[in-house]
Amino acid sequence: MTRSPSPSSAPQHALSPWRERLFRIIFEADTPAGRYFDYALFGLIVLSVGVVLADSVQSLRLAHGGVFNQLEWFFTALFTLEYIARLVCVRHPWRYATSFFGVVDLLALLPTYLALFVPELHLLIDVRVMRLLRVFRIFKLSAYVSEYQSLGRALVATRRKILIFLSVVMMIVLVVGTVMHLVEGAENGFSSIPTSMYWAITTMTTVGFGDITPKTDLGRFISSAMMLLGWGTLAVPTGIVSSEMAQQRRDSLPPPTTRRCHECLTEGHLMEARFCLHCGAELPPP
């Protein structure tokens, strides 16, 4: 990492000061303005999701449907402005638009517009709630950020084991589903192999809805074996995740911040860092 003689010398793709400030307010939470912005955003997201929930209840919709509709357009307008602001104040709008949060922010807007054409879709406004993943930063989230990053790392590190495990589970589900379809038959609810597979998953994961249940003795015997198998198999993902988390605990890094690199949009750079460790660009001062 080369050191620039002074932090205020402009690198090649500098943003104008007002865009710089907008960036700090919207994307970061280390300044008072940034923090208030996040509080307000959090409140607006929760309110807008609440309106969609209320609107889905028949009785409430009949009573206040018009108000709900206006509120939904109000929120959508606000969020559209915010989305445009985000696009404006980053150096590489396209990189933001294709990042995870960029996609979530867009999906949070589209349903209301699409609903003009396909009315039922407006309920997908609820996807907006995933924006809340972003505003976790408010609550002293240096710690939160490292906590769920550590969990995320644990999951990623064990993804091969999890994939193997899921594949074996699906095979068992397929074979047992087929056997139960043969044994019980359509008159007992096991009307096709996919339906029997749905029953098998219900049983193996110990959910046990009870909408389909075995009636024959052989069917009940096979079910019992499957229940014991599913019960014991629960130990496997638990063992995988537990040992991985214990491993993570030993390797855990010091808690990062919410400092964000303008070039590659990664966050979590240390307080003393002057350059982004992913792409080498100079970081704005904390």
> What residues between 118 and 147 interact with its own copies by CB under 8 A?
120-121, 123-124, 126-127, 129-130, 132-133, 136, 143-144, 147
Instruction: Round to whole Å and give the CA distance between 213 and 23.
Output: 57
Q: How far is the CB of 199 from its own copies (least distance, A)?
A: 9
For its own copies, the binding residue among 26, 41, 51, 52 (CB under 8 A) is: 52
69 binds its own copies (CB under 8 A): no
Q: Which residue number, 60 or 281, has a Cβ lying nearer to its own copies?
A: 60
Among positions 248-267, residues that touch its own copies (CB under 8 A) are: 249
Q: Which residue number, 14 or 156, has a Cβ lying nearer to its own copies?
A: 156
Q: How far is the CB of 148 from its own copies (least distance, A)?
A: 5
For its own copies, the binding residue among 114, 193, 264, 270 (CB under 8 A) is: 193
For its own copies, the binding residue among 169, 261, 265, 283 (CB under 8 A) is: 169
63 binds its own copies (CB under 8 A): no
174 binds its own copies (CB under 8 A): yes
Instruction: Round to whole Å and give the CA distance between 241 and 157.
Output: 10
Q: Give the three-class secondary structure for 269.
A: coil
Residues touching its own copies: how many (CB under 8 A)? Answer: 83
Among positions 220-249, residues that touch its own copies (CB under 8 A) are: 220-221, 223-224, 227-228, 230-232, 234-247, 249
Residue with tokens 């930063």: 137
Report yes or no: 80 and 47 within 8 Å, Cβ to Cβ.
no
H helix or E strand, kind and range, residue 83: helix 58-89
Spatial CB neighbours of 147, under 8 Å, sequence gap ≥ 6: none
Instruction: Round to whole Å and give the CA distance between 142 and 266.
Output: 14
Spatial CB neighbours of 135, under 8 Å, sequence gap ≥ 6: 38, 41, 42, 45
Instruction: Round to whole Å and give the CA distance between 70 and 52.
Output: 12
For its own copies, the binding residue among 4, 31, 70, 205 (CB under 8 A) is: 205
Q: Which residue number, 244 or 282, has a Cβ lying nearer to its own copies?
A: 244
For its own copies, the binding residue among 15, 78, 138, 151 (CB under 8 A) is: 151
Helix, strand, coil percent content, the chain, rounded in steps of 5: 70, 0, 30
Q: Supply 177's token pair.
A: 């589903």
Q: Which residue number, 9 or 58, has a Cβ lying nearer to its own copies?
A: 58
